[in-house]
Amino acid sequence: MSKIMTLPKIGVNMTEAIIDEWFVKPGDVIKKGDAIFLAETDKATQEIFATDFGTIEKLLAEQGDTVEIHQPIMTLLDEGEQIGEDEFAEEAMQEEQTAPELQAEVQAPAVVEIVIAKAAEPKQTKADTARVRISPLAKKTAKELGLDISKLSPEQPGKRITKSDVMKFEKAQGSAAVREAAVVGTGSSFATMQIKACADNMTLLIKRFGQSGLDIGHIDVVAKAAAVALSKHKGLFFSGDEINIGVEADTQSGAVVPVASGADKKTVGQIKADIDAMSLGNANFVITNLGAFDIESYVPSRNIFGCTTLCAGCVTRSFVPDERDMPKTRSEIKMTLVFDDSAAAGIDAAKFMQKVKQYIENPELMLL
Amino acid sequence: MSEINVRQALNDALREEMEADPTVMMMGCDIGVRGGPFGVTLGLQKQFGAKRVKDTPISEPGYTGAAVGAAATGLRPVIEILYSDWLTLCTDQIVNMAAKMRYMFGGKVNMPLVIRAPFGAGGGVAAQHSQSFEAWFNHIPGLKVVAPITPYDVKGMLKAAIRDDNPVMFFEHKRSYQMKGEVPEGDYIVPFGKAAIRREGTDVTIVSYSMISIRAQNAAKELEKEGISCEVIDLRSILPLDYETVMSSIAKTNRVVVCQEANLRGGLAGDIVAEIIDRGFDLLDAPPVRVGAPNVPMPYNAGLEAICIPDEENIKEAVRKVMSND
């Protein structure tokens, strides 16, 4: 019996995708994770990966079609299953309707060939041929950023593409690029480790920043602590001197990863400014901030960003025993490190995490 | 500082310049005994005498030609063409004589001539008394063209015009004489070629001058409530025109609306838009939008006239259009 594969939702705000190009055709055997088509989503043009496996029986959408998420895109057959006879009959009938010269007694394989040829035939999308409605400023900006204007789209269909559309696309593509790198980098093994740190001093520090009119969040201090700790453990997770911390940020068009370059040499305020400004760059260490959504701890099942990742949880209040084993309260933050354990030894990663914990518990140590 | 109206500002400028420089003199219909149809020259003939404040026959080409001769031979005449619609009559003297003389005499002749011309629409004065010809004269090399609107600018610019050795077309809006504003005591000039930013904003640049710059400021105030931040530029001086200020504003906003009160075809707004495109096409995030009157003679009927004079609503509509990305 054939099974249906639907369009997976790959971005937070993704609602639909335009099929730019199929990479597969009926008869192909695919496995989970194979790139199956190039999609134009609300954020960027990117590859969509199979969420199931089997032999492709039929593609349910053509190039250029817009498909909503969770709508069927193909049917798959399990190993050993054959493409059903009646399916051919159905195809044959469809072909007959569109191509009357085809005789009713046409042999099934011939029809399959036609179907395949149709699916494989590159179809020009509208964007290739139509003139793109774009403002001079947006055009210039796209050129400077090296973006293909045929890939851009206006905020609302039919409107002119403006600079803000270009900037949104650039941001989305920036994060897409990081994710793409992640897909390439997941071949190696990875490990996770978690540490809990007292957040009392960090919370006090942030409060004092606030009193001086500086809007600093926990994640900014964590980013700084990680950057300084990395500067003390050079070469542990990546080579090179430049410490570029990416901080996953939630935006209207989905999660993006702005980067604070040379973060160990920057102040907490400068790091925050870089993140807020959505500065792009090549992160060699990423911090995720699900703590912003009250998540206490997060252990990803794969190395999402393709580089060492520190998942910061929210700050919680907890009871801990004091010297006399009486309960006292303190603020705590949980952090999970996701790293390539074939490249860095667990003991070195643990030392790094201990350093991060020290900095968070005693931020003044970062001044040394 | 004192608050005076445009009429008083003009009168003060003329008086002060005549007091300071005995070569300054005036000609025009009814400017002497009557003090000018709009009262701009009240009291000046009494103070300076009929030789320096001359009433002339109703012959615009006649006294304009006389003023060109006077300017070429050492005086600094200020003439009044009322209404500016009658500039048509003396255009030969202005375009072929005044504008060309310095150039064709190799700079050996100065042409310190000021032509005051009340222009603009409103008040139900019909098609022959409502026109705005600034674009005609903007087209002519050798002239300077200004259209200030606030009492401060009007006074400072008329003084600058009188001291200029080139022929200056000085357009006063005929509906502005009662408009009040702060003017400092003592002598000052407002130099040509420097625009004023009347209101700062970030979303759209509105380029305007004369009366429509007041309407642009009103429109900008209302648009602020809609969340659109407009920067309003009052050009004050049309030729020379301060494109530096215009372009640096557009570099900030990336969107521009250009307003004129005259009918749109062949107007200054189109010329300004063309220059903006030449200087900074890549700065534009939307096609520039022009605001102006329809291409019809100005109706006498008050209702039709109100429809034809570009107002706050027209400007707001233009701003919304330039923001729409349509």
E strand or H helix that includes residue A92: helix A85-98
Task: Give residue B314's pLDDT.
Answer: 98
Shortest distance between the Cα of B281 and any Cα of chain A, in A, equals 6
Nearest to A159 among B254, B284, B326 (CB): B326
Whether residues B35 and B118 share a domain: the answer is yes
| B40 inside domain | yes
Residue pair A344/A236 in contact by the 8 Å Cβ criterion: yes
Q: Is the pLDDT of residue A98 over 60?
A: no
Domain boundary among B161, B183, B205: B183
Q: How confident is the model at residue B50 (pLDDT cuts 50, 70, 90)?
A: very high
Contacts of A144 in chain B (CB under 8 A): none
Residue pair B205/B299 in contact by the 8 Å Cβ criterion: no
Give the whole-angstrom CA distance, residue A8 versus residue A296. 27
User: Active site includes B129?
Assistant: yes
Q: Which domain holds residue B108?
A: 2-183
Nearest to B285 among A138, A155, A156 (CB): A138
DSSP per-residue string spanning A160-204: PB-HHHHHHHHHHHHHHHHHHHHHHHTTS--EEEEEEEE-HHHHH
Span B171-182, average pLDDT: 97
- Domains of chain A in sequence order: 3-77 (2.40.50.100), 133-183 (4.10.320.10), 188-367 (3.30.559.10)
Q: How many interchain CB pairs under 8 A, A with B?
A: 32
Q: Is the pLDDT of residue A125 over 80?
A: no
Give the whole-angstrom CA distance, residue B239 versus residue A55. 75
Cβ of A163 under 8 Å from any chain B Cβ? yes
Q: Is the pLDDT of residue A187 over 60?
A: no
Task: Give residue B276's pLDDT.
Answer: 98
Span A189-211, average pLDDT: 89
Whether residues B160 and B222 share a domain: the answer is no
Task: Give residue B89's pLDDT.
Answer: 97
- Reported ipTM exceeds the 0.90 cut: no
Q: Do A135 and B284 touch (CB under 8 A)?
A: yes
> For the ranges A225-234, B16-25, B77-86, B281-290, which has the lowest average pLDDT?
A225-234
Whether residues B212 and B163 share a domain: the answer is no
Q: Is the pLDDT of residue B3 over 90?
A: yes
Q: Is the pLDDT of residue B120 over 80?
A: yes
Name the closest residue on chain A to residue B284, using Cα atoms. A137
Tally the domains of chain B: 2
Domain boundary among B183, B216, B245: B183
Whether residues B201 and B155 share a domain: the answer is no
Q: Is the pLDDT of residue B25 over 60?
A: yes
User: Active site includes B173?
Assistant: no
Q: Is the pLDDT of residue A91 over 70?
A: no
| B149 inside domain | yes
Nearest to A137 among B283, B324, B326 (CB): B283
| B210 inside domain | yes
Q: Is the pLDDT of residue A1 over 80?
A: no
| B67 inside domain | yes
Task: Say which of B3, B17, B19, B60 is annotated catalytic.
Answer: B60
| B189 inside domain | no
Instruction: Give the CATH number for residue B311.
Output: 3.40.50.920
Q: If you average pLDDT over each of A79-83, A107-111, B156-160, which comes out highest? A: B156-160
Structure-block tokens of residue A181: 């790198």
| B259 inside domain | yes
Residues B69-91 have pLDDT tens digits of: 999 999 999 999 989 999 999 99
Q: Do B282 and A137 touch (CB under 8 A)?
A: yes
Q: Do A154 and B325 touch (CB under 8 A)?
A: yes
Name the B residues in 231-290 with CB < 8 Å from any A CB.
254, 281-286
